[in-house]
Chains A and B, each alone.
Chain A
């Protein structure tokens, strides 16, 4: 039957409304495919619902920070000094800035070395939000007007003279104590610090009063101390606690 009815004449045999509809459908499908080919950018959908070529262009963006290993290749002395110091975790480019241009052109492009007193306090100025134990100073009081590197080598920042007074490192406590009723007490009154504490603060921790009787030397009713010092009866006053669990010794009875 198909033999005597060639396929290209099939349109002549279907009703006119079907022919018109078929033309419309074909045109619509063709327009859709053409629009898709034109509007969907190349490489879209290759690896997901995005243009794969954009990943390649993002990959080729210029690098500005060369990385610590790049510095170590030419400056082994500085890197070695730093590796044994408190700044061992601080990459060179933290202070010297992005150095890719310097690695490609070491003679003409020299990375800056910050020398003014505003740079180091970015990390080391006292801020109560900084973690406890991080070395902090008050830039106003700490050897004013002198550039940091006169005493501290930035690659090995341990000062040549270890801090002589406790306030050099524990400024927050010293300033709090200075306005408290305990202002006359020296730190050593309550804390005994090994001399090595100034070099390795965390390894040689100072002592803290461990008994109620220690505070009682001044504050017990039976204590032999000036009369204006407030007294408590040690046997009945908070007998289950050590004093500093309720009273902050550096600012007792503050609020």
Chain B
């Protein structure tokens, strides 16, 4: 039987063989037809899905591709009242224990000898007691912290299942139904902005209050900040509170050397802040 076949190197079919190249390709296509049809069907159903969800869920006027959100923090205005951290827990149903925060306030106390002490008792929600050895403190200030919604987010890169991602409007979110709770993203985040929810065992983090933002509202922490130390807006749009903030302040981001390209911009930030 093997003697009937064309040689392995191709070339003209041997005399007596009935199989030519055209017949072979045709036969292969015929054999592969069911498989190819299944694949094509699968891709068409998945292509229809976003249209369906868009029609059912989101209001049609909100187009994610027209937005790119960021936040500004004016360190000079923060009074350390902790209302932002408390409101965040209310709005997003974050566990109330003092270990889990989506946003929190840190107090930096820099002593005369240059040593820097950082504390954040219960994220600042219950206020800050006077620092020990207050008389040695050269300067002290509060720094609100949150997820920096990096344009080049390390947490998104390391997620093994694609459960954390950057949306088209530049917000880093966690898919809680799909997260396997491996904590890799918690390790990867250089800002300590993520935690594992003690009950669902999935990663959680600041969402910029995505459910509020798509309705045209500002995040809860920005809403309740009594001194306007937090500014929310669009990074690229010319008419945005954030653009105004970025125009009138000398800005820094946290850990710029890591090339994460954070979208939380700090004004009047002390060099000691990490």
A residues neighboring B (CB under 8 Å): 1-2, 4-5, 7-8, 10-11, 13-16, 22, 26, 29-30, 33, 36-37, 41-65, 67-68, 87, 89-91, 93-94, 97-98, 121-123, 125, 127-131, 134
Contacts and interface: CB of A to CB of B under 8 A. Distances in A.
A33 to B, nearest CB: 6
Contacts of B80: 127, 129-130
B87 A58 contact: no
A56 B58 contact: yes
B66 interface: no
Interface string B175-215: 11110000000000000000000000000000100111011
Given A46-B49, A54-B176, A131-B77, 8 more contacts: A13-B18, A30-B35, A43-B50, A65-B224, A128-B140, A129-B107, A129-B128, A134-B227
Nearest to B108: A129
B151 interface: no
B63 interface: no
Given A41-B178, A58-B210, A89-B227, A65 B2 contact: no
A54 B175 contact: yes
B26 A123 contact: no
Contacts of B134: 128
Given A8-B27, A67-B217, A127 B130 contact: yes
B128 A127 contact: yes
Nearest to A122: B81
B106 to A, nearest CB: 10
Contacts of B217: 63, 65, 67
B178 A123 contact: no
Nearest to B163: A50
B46 interface: yes
B158 to A, nearest CB: 12
Interface stretch (B165-173, B236-244, B246-254): B165-173
Contacts of B71: none
A51 B178 contact: yes
B258 interface: no
B130 A128 contact: yes
B261 interface: no
A111 to B, nearest CB: 12
A65 B87 contact: yes
Contacts of A130: 79-80, 142
B253 to A, nearest CB: 21
A30 to B, nearest CB: 6
Interface string B13-36: 100011110111011001110010
B141 A129 contact: yes
Contacts of B212: 63, 65
Nearest to A17: B2
B81 A91 contact: no
B57 A7 contact: no
Contact of A58 (B22, B109, B173): B173
Interface in B68-90: 76-83, 87, 90
Which of A22, A91, A128: most chain B Cβ within 10 A?
Answer: A128
Nearest to A67: B217
Nearest to A50: B165
Contacts of A26: 31-32, 35
B76 A46 contact: no
Nearest to A130: B79
Contacts of B218: 67
Contacts of A44: 162
Contacts of A91: 223-224, 226
Contact of A33 (B5, B39, B83): B39
Contact of A129 (B64, B83, B109, B207): B109
